[in-house]
Amino acid sequence: MLCARRLGSLGAGVAALRPGRAGRCSHGARGRARGVSTSWSPVGAAFNVKPQGHRLDLFGERGADFVKIAHPEPSFRMAAEEACRSIGTMVEKLNTNVELYQSLQKLLADKKLVESLDAETRRVAELFMFDFEISGIHLDEEKRRRAVDLNVEILDLSSTFLMGANFPNKIEKRLLPEHISRSFARDGEHVVIDGLHAEAPDDLVREAAYKIFLYPNVGQLKCLEQLLSSRDLLAKLVGYSTFSHRALQGTIAQNPETVMQFLEKLSDKLSQRTIKDFEMMRGMKMKLNPQNSELMPWDPPYYSGVIRAERYNIEPSLYCPFFSLGACMEGLNILFNKLLGISLYAEQPAKGEVWSEDVRKLAVVHDSEGLLGYIYCDFFQRAGKPHQDCHFTIRGGRLKADGDYQLPVVVLMLSLPHSSRNSPTLLTPGMMENLFHEMGHAMHSMLGRTRYQHVTGTRCPTDFAEVPSILMEYFSSDYRVINQFARHYQTGQRLPRHMVSRLCESKKVCAAADMQLQVFYATLDQIYHGRHPLRKSTTDILKETQEQFYGLPYVPNTAWQLRFSHLVGYGAKYYSYLMSRAVASMVWKECFLQDPFNRAAGERYRREMLAHGGGKEPMLMVQGMLQKCPSIDDFVGALVSDLDLDFETFLMDSE
**Residue 652: left if φ>0, alpha if ψ -120 to 50, beta else—which one?**
beta
Buried b (16+ CB within 10 A) or exposed e, 577-616: bbbbbbbbbbbbbebbbeebbbeebbebbbebbbbbbbbb
Distance between CA atoms of 550 and 513, rounded to whole angstroms? Answer: 8
- Residues 261, 513, 437, 644: is their CA dihedral positive or negative? negative
E strand or H helix that includes residue 257: helix 256-288
**What 8-state DSSP symbol labels residue 11?**
P
**Contact call for residues 334 and 476 (beta carbons, < 8 A):** no
Question: Which residue in 214, 417, 399, 407 sits closest to 296, CA to CA?
Answer: 214
Check if the beta carbon of residue 118 is closer than 8 Å to that of residue 451: yes
Q: What is the dihedral of CA 510, 511, 514, 518, to 10 degrees?
A: -160
Distance CA 322, CA 384 (A): 29
- Are 218 and 559 in contact by the 8 Å Cβ rule? The answer is no
Classified as helix, coil or strand, 347 is strand
* Cα–Cα distance, 445 to 271 (Å, whole number): 37
Q: How buried is residue 286: exposed, middle or buried, by Cβ count under 10 Å (0-12/13-18/19+)?
A: middle
Give residue 4's region: left, alpha or beta (phi > 0; psi -120 to 50): beta
Type of residue at 251: T
Cα angle 567, 214, 557; round to 5: 115
Q: Taking Cα atoms as reference points, which of 595, 555, 554, 579 lies closest to residue 639?
A: 579
d(CA 145, CA 546): 39
Catalytic residue among 438, 466, 473, 617: 438
* DSSP designation for 374: E
Best CA proximity match to 124, nearest among 466, 610, 606, 617: 617
Taking Cα atoms as reference points, which of 647, 589, 254, 609 lies closest to residue 466?
609
Q: Is 120 a catalytic residue?
A: no
- Rounded distance between C-alpha atoms, residue 465 and residue 442, angstroms: 11
77/64 Cα distance (integer angstroms) = 9
3-state secondary structure of 563: helix
Q: Among the residues of 455-598, which ranges form H helices?
A: 462-465, 467-476, 479-482, 497-506, 511-528, 538-549, 566-569, 576-587
Q: How far apart are CA 254 and CA 464, in angstroms?
A: 12
Query: For the chain, what is the largest distance between any 2 Cα atoms, rounded to a whole number of angstroms?
Result: 78
Neighbour tally for 113: CB within 10 Å? 11
Residues 513, 281 contacting (CB under 8 angstroms): yes
Active site residues: 438
